[in-house]
Amino acid sequence: DFSHGIALYLEKVSVWFDAFRALNDLSLYIQEGELRCIIGPNGAGKTTLMDVITGKTRPTEGSAFFGQNYDLAKMSTEQIAEAGIGRKFQKPTVFENFTVMENLLLAAPKDKRVKKSFFSKLDPDAQLALDESLAQIRLEEWVHKPAGLLSHGQKQWLEIGMLLMQRPKLILLDEPVAGMTDAETERTAELCLELKKNHTLVVVEHDMSFIDTISEKVTVLAQGAILAEGTLAEVQANEDDVKEPTMLEVKDVN
Ligand code: ADP
C-alpha cells in the first residue's frame, strides 16, 4: 500500500511575517517514498517551510496538502501529527533520566501509552511499535539504560525512534547529522535509507557529503523561493552558488 502517490503538495505558498515574506510563492511536490533534501543558506525559509508542513505556521497565501485527503490549512498541529506527519527538531529532547524504553513508550500515541507495571504486559500494538522502533535505531542493547548515558548521535537516533512510535508516514528531519561524528553520520545515512523503504522523508541539512549519500533529489531554497531542484549533481552544475552553501550564507550577510 506504499503506492508512490502524492505525499506532499504545496501550491504557491507564501508566508508573511508582518512586511517580511519568508516564503515566496513556493510550490513543492513530493512523492510517497521520496527522500527529499532541502538545502539553502540561513534565512532561506527552510524552517518556515517545515513549520508550514506541521501546521505550526499557516500559509498567508496558497495551499498545502498532505496525501490526497488532508488540507493542512484546515487542520490543527495535533490533527496533522495524527494524520501521519512527524518532525524531529535539531536539538534532542529525550528525557535523560528515563530509560530508552521509557522514552519510546512516552512517545507512543496517548491511547497506546500503557504504563508497564510489574504484573501488566504492554499493549501488543505498543510492544510491536517498540520492537520495530528499537530494531530500526539499533539501540536494543541500551533499552533499559538511562537515555542520559547515550552519545549525542544515539540520542538523535532515539528521538527518531520516538517519532516512529507514532507510525508517521512523512518524517521531517531538521539537520539530523549536526554535531555527529563521521561514524554516527554514516550510520544516520543508513538509517535514513532504511526509513525510506516505507516512509517519505524531508531532510533539511547542510552536510553535502551526507546529502550526497542519501538523496536522489534536492530542493535548493533561497529567499523563500526554490532556486533549483534535481539531483545534487544537477543543482550543483546548474547553480554555482549551490556548490558552497556556506558561501551563500556569507553573501547573505553582505
Ligand atoms: P532557515 O531555516 O532557512 O534559516 P527561516 O525559515 O528560519 O530560514 O527564516 C526565514 C526568514 O524568515 C528569516 O529571515 C527569518 O528572520 C524570518 N522569520 C522566521 N520566523 C519569523 C517570525 N516568526 N517573525 C518574523 N520573521 C521570521
Report residue 214 as a C-alpha cell: 542519501
pLDDT class of 12 with cuts at 50, 70, 90 = very high
CATH superfamily entry for domain 1-84+183-254: P-loop containing nucleotide triphosphate hydrolases (3.40.50.300)
- DSSP SS3 for 86: strand
For residue 238, the CA-to-ligand 1 centroid distance in Å is 26
Residue 161 has what pLDDT? 96
pLDDT class of 118 with cuts at 50, 70, 90 = very low
Closest CA to 72 of 172, 3, 162: 172
Residue 19 has what pLDDT? 92
Partnered with residue 119 across adjacent β-strands are none
pLDDT exceeds 90 at position 108: no
Every domain of the chain and the residues it spans: 1-84+183-254, 88-167
d(CA 48, CA 25): 13
Interface predicted TM-score of the whole assembly (ipTM), two decimals: 0.96
pLDDT exceeds 80 at position 178: yes
pLDDT tens digits for range 147-170: 999 999 999 999 999 999 999 999
What percent of the chain lies above the pLDDT cut of 70? 88
44 lines ligand 1 (CB under 6 A): yes
pTM to 2 decimal places: 0.90
pLDDT exceeds 80 at position 136: yes
CA-CA-CA-CA torsion sign (112, 114, 116, 120) = negative
Q: What angle do CA 232, 35, 226 make, to 5 degrees?
A: 55
For residue 96, the CA-to-ligand 1 centroid distance in Å is 30
Q: What share of the chain is helix, strand, coil (3-state, %, to 5)?
A: 40, 25, 35
**DSSP type of residue 43:** T
d(CA 211, CA 249): 18
pLDDT exceeds 90 at position 114: no
Q: Which residue of 48, 53, 58 sits with most ligand 1 atoms within 8 Å of its CB, as the best mutation to test the pocket?
A: 48
